[in-house]
C-alpha cells in the first residue's frame, strides 16, 4: 500500500526539480509550427543585428513592449535557439493557466501592485531566472511592464536589472553577463498581415560595467544600467518623445516615409531621420512648429473622417494606382470568394472576438491564434477530400491554393481597402490641397 504514495511523492518532487529550460519533446515538436505561423502573420518580417550577439556570455534580453503576445512570438521566431520569457505575475493567478505558461517557458514576475504576498514569490522566479542565464539559455523580458501601442518607451522596471546583477554576482567571473536590447517595430499595431522588424542592438556588458564602476551602491548602479538600456532601446525603433506633439509627429513621419522603397530597416532609419528634423524644427522655430502641428492634426482628422489611408496621401497618381489594384482584385475575386467560404470557421469567430475586445491591440494575437489552432484542421481535412475526389495533379494544386488561402484572404481585403482609399483621395480636391499646403517635403 505504501508503494504508490512513495512513487507519487518521487514523481512530483522530480516535476518540481525539472528546470523550465530543460528539453521538452512536445514543446520542441510544436515550436516550429508556432514560429512558422508567426512569421506568416506578417507580409514582411525582417530581423536585423543578430550578428552582434556575443558568443562568450550569458544573455539577458530587454525588449520594448507594444503589441501584446505578438511581441514575444516575433522574438521567439527570430531564431531556433532555446528561449525563456518572463511575464506579469497576475496572468499566473489561475493554476491551469500557470501550468500552460510554464510549458511555454514563461516565468512570473510580480510587481508591488500584485500585493506583498505575490511579490514574495519573486524570490523563486528570480532564482530560476538566474539559473536560466547560468545555463546560457536566453532570458527575455519586457521591462516596460505593460504593452502600449506607441513608438515611445515607458520607464523600465527594475526586475531585469536585479536579475543581471544577481547573475553577475553568482557567475560573472566565469563568463560575462550581457544585457541585449531588442527593438520591435510594426507597420501597424491593429492590422493582421502588416509588417514587423525585430532589431537587435549593441549588447551592454554588465560584468565589465560593474567591474569598472567606482560606485558601490547597488541602487545607483541599477539606475545607471536602466538609463543605458533605455537609451539603447530608443535607438532601435522609430522613437518619438511621448509629449503633446507625439500624434502630429507620427502623422508627419507616416506621410513622409510611407511609400519609399527599401526594406523595413531602411524605412525605420528614414523615420528616425524625419523625427530628428521635426525635433530640430521644434527647437529652432517653436511657434511655426506649433502652427504646423495644429494643421497636421486638422488634416489627419479630415483624412480619417473621409476614410482615406495615409498610404494614399503618398500617391501622386492615386486614380492610376487604384486601377491596377482593381485589375488584381477582379482577377483574384474567385480565389477570394473560395477562401472566404473555406476559412469561415477561422475568420468568423476571430472577427466576433475582435469586436468584443476592449484593447484592440489583442486583435493580431486573436487572428494568429485562429490560424494556429483552427486552420491546420481545415488544411488537413481539405487536402484529404481533394485527393479523394480529384486527380492527383488537381488535388496538389488545390492543396497549394488552400495553404496560402488564409493569408491571402487578409491581403485581398487590404488591397480593396487601399484601392477604395486611393479612389477617394483622387477625388478629394480640397483635402489634397490641404495636404500640399502643409509643405512637408520642403520642411523635412
Helical (H) or strand (E) element with 87? strand 83-88
The three three-digit cell numbers of residue 205, written as one number: 556588458
| The predicted structure's pLDDT at residue 110 | 79
User: pLDDT tens digits, residue range 317-340?
Assistant: 999 999 999 999 999 999 999 999
Helical (H) or strand (E) element with 44? strand 44-48
Tell me how far apart the alpha carbons of residues 250 and 383 are, in angstroms, rounded to a whole number: 45
| The predicted structure's pLDDT at residue 316 | 85
User: pLDDT tens digits, residue range 120-140?
Assistant: 677 888 899 999 999 999 999
| The predicted structure's pLDDT at residue 114 | 60
Are the CB atoms for 42 and 110 separated by under 8 Å?
Answer: no
Provide the 3-class DSSP secondary structure of residue 39.
helix
Give the list of residues 6+ apart from residue 432 with CB closer than 8 angstroms, or none. Answer: 425
Which single residue is written with the C-alpha cell 500557470? 98
| The predicted structure's pLDDT at residue 320 | 92
How wide is the angle at C-alpha 201 spanned by C-alphas 160 and 34, nearest 5°? Answer: 75
Are the CB atoms for 86 and 159 separated by under 8 Å?
Answer: yes
**Residues of the chain falling short of pLDDT 50:** 1, 3-15
Whole-prediction pTM value? 0.91
Are the CB atoms for 85 and 101 separated by under 8 Å?
Answer: no
Half-sphere exposure of 31 (CA within 13 A, CB side): 20
The three three-digit cell numbers of residue 16, written as one number: 518540481
Which single residue is written with the C-alpha cell 524644427? 281
Name which of 368, 381, 379, 370 is nearest 347 in CA terms. 370
Are the CB atoms for 20 and 86 separated by under 8 Å?
Answer: no
Name which of 148, 182, 436, 151 is nearest 275 in CA terms. 151
Provide the 3-class DSSP secondary structure of residue 185.
strand
Name which of 236, 231, 229 is nearest 199 in CA terms. 236
β pairing state of 106-109 and 204-205: unpaired
The three three-digit cell numbers of residue 91, written as one number: 496572468
Amino acid at each position: 500500500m505504501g508503494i504508490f504514495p512513495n512513487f507519487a511523492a518521487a514523481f512530483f518532487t522530480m516535476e518540481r526539480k525539472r528546470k523550465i529550460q530543460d528539453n521538452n519533446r512536445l514543446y520542441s515538436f510544436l515550436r516550429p509550427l508556432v514560429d512558422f505561423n508567426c512569421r506568416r502573420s506578417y507580409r514582411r518580417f525582417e530581423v536585423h543585428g543578430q550578428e552582434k550577439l556575443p558568443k562568450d556570455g550569458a544573455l539577458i534580453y530587454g525588449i520594448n513592449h507594444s503589441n501584446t503576445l505578438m511581441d514575444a512570438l516575433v522574438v521567439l521566431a527570430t531564431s531556433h535557439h532555446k528561449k525563456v520569457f518572463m511575464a506579469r505575475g497576475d496572468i499566473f493567478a489561475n493554476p491551469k493557466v500557470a501550468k500552460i505558461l510554464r510549458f511555454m517557458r514563461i516565468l512570473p514576475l510580480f510587481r508591488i501592485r500584485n500585493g506583498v504576498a505575490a511579490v514574495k514569490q519573486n524570490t523563486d522566479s528570480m532564482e530560476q531566472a538566474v539559473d536560466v542565464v547560468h545555463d546560457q539559455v536566453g532570458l527575455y523580458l519586457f521591462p516596460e511592464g505593460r504593452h502600449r501601442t506607441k513608438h515611445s518607451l515607458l520607464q523600465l522596471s527594475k526586475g531585469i536589472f536585479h536579475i543581471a546583477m544577481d547573475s553577475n554576482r553568482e557567475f560573472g567571473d566565469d563568463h560575462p553577463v550581457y544585457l541585449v536590447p531588442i527593438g520591435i517595430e510594426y507597420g501597424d499595431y491593429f492590422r493582421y498581415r502588416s509588417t514587423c522588424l525585430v532589431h537587435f542592438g549593441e549588447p551592454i556588458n554588465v560584468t565589465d560595467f560593474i567591474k569598472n564602476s567606482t560606485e558601490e551602491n547597488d541602487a545607483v548602479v541599477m539606475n545607471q544600467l536602466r538609463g543605458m538600456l533605455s537609451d539603447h532601446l530608443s535607438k532601435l525603433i522609430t522613437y518619438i518623445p511621448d509629449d503633446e506633439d507625439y500624434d502630429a509627429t507620427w502623422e508627419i513621419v507616416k506621410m513622409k516615409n510611407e511609400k519609399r522603397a527599401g526594406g523595413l530597416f531602411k524605412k525605420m532609419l528614414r523615420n528616425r531621420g524625419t523625427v530628428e528634423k521635426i525635433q530640430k524644427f521644434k527647437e529652432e522655430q517653436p511657434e511655426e512648429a506649433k502652427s504646423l502641428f495644429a494643421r497636421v492634426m486638422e488634416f489627419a482628422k479630415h483624412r480619417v473622417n473621409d476614410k482615406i489611408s495615409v498610404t494614399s496621401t503618398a500617391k501622386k497618381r492615386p486614380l492610376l494606382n487604384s486601377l491596377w489594384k482593381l485589375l488584381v482584385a477582379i482577377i483574384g475575386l474567385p480565389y477570394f470568394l473560395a477562401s472566404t467560404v473555406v476559412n469561415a470557421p477561422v475568420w468568423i469567430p476571430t472577427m466576433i472576438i475582435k469586436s468584443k475586445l476592449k484593447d484592440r491591440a489583442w486583435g493580431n494575437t486573436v487572428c494568429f491564434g485562429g490560424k494556429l489552432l483552427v486552420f491546420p484542421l481545415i488544411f488537413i481535412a481539405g487536402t484529404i477530400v481533394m485527393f479523394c475526389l480529384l486527380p492527383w495533379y488537381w488535388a496538389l494544386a488545390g492543396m497549394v491554393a488552400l495553404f496560402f488561402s488564409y493569408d491571402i484572404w487578409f491581403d485581398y481585403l487590404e488591397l480593396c481597402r487601399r484601392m477604395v482609399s486611393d479612389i477617394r483621395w483622387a477625388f478629394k480636391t480640397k483635402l489634397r490641397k490641404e495636404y500640399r499646403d502643409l509643405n512637408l517635403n520642403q520642411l523635412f
